[in-house]
């Protein structure tokens, strides 16, 4: 009996230790919608197919210029900011191209890498680049510009209305990157 009591006390004292081990931080599961697109609803100098889960909103701020717009993705708290410029001259095009590359290069200090996809479609007169900026704290992971090299220039940047944590946003960033690629591949100059 004494032996059983002693063993019970030893087991009880060993089992009552506080063996706390911290659990890793978890993130909410993100349900991605089915990809579906609809026709562009406005008379702009450009058109493309818009995701049905995105809201195309013309930019009406005081500082905005004609044909600037946003595609809001309310389910992801994100938007794709689109800026359009009419090309006035060769020098103006060079300036716009320089600005587009400057906006991308501003992310270099936080970026761990930048993937570039060239866009060359002579049939639709669409030429440009798509940038996928990798990194934990990068503010805009997807940027692009497209032009017909003569009259039209369109630049886009994807932003989230949250503090950047691109590791947890990675599935959404990739999902919206595919939408940007679809936008570019369906782009038409009007």
The backbone torsions φ and ψ at residue 189, rounded to the nearest 5 degrees and listed phi first, read -85, 130
Taking only the tens place, the pLDDT of each residue in 147-168 is: 999 999 999 999 999 876 767 7
Give the pair of three-digit tokens for residue 82: 């689109």
Predicted local distance difference test score (pLDDT) of residue 18 = 63
Q: Report the C-alpha dihedral over residues 123, 56, 131, 174, rounded to 10 degrees.
A: -110
Q: For residue 117, list its beta bridge partners.
A: 130
Q: Are 135 and 112 in contact, with CB atoms under 8 Å apart?
A: yes
What is the value of pTM for the model shown? Answer: 0.82
What residue ranges define each of the domains in the chain, with the CATH number in brackets? 45-188 (3.40.1000)
Question: Hunting for tokens 């761990």 — which residue is that?
Answer: 112
Taking only the tens place, the pLDDT of each residue in 7-55 is: 877 776 766 566 666 777 666 677 899 999 999 889 999 999 999 999 9
């Amino acid at each position: 009996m004494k032996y059983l009591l002693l063993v019970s006390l030893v087991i009880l004292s060993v089992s009552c230790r506080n063996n706390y081990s911290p659990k890793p931080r978890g993130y909410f599961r993100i349900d991605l919608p089915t990809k579906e697109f609809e026709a562009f609803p406005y008379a702009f100098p450009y058109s493309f197919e818009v995701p049905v889960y995105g809201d195309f909103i013309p930019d009406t701020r005081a500082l905005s210029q004609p044909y600037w717009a946003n595609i809001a993705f309310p389910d992801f708290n994100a938007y794709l900011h689109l800026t359009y410029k009419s090309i006035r001259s060769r020098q103006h095009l060079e300036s716009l191209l320089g600005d587009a590359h400057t906006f991308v290069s501003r992310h270099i200090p936080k970026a761990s890498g930048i993937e570039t996809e060239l866009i060359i479609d002579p049939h639709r007169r669409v030429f440009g680049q798509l940038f996928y900026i990798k990194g934990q704290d990068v503010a805009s992971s997807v940027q692009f510009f497209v032009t017909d090299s003569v009259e039209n220039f369109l630049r886009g940047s994807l932003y989230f209305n949250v503090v950047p944590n691109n590791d947890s946003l990675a599935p959404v960033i990739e999902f919206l990157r595919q939408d940007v690629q679809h936008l570019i591949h369906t782009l038409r100059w009007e």
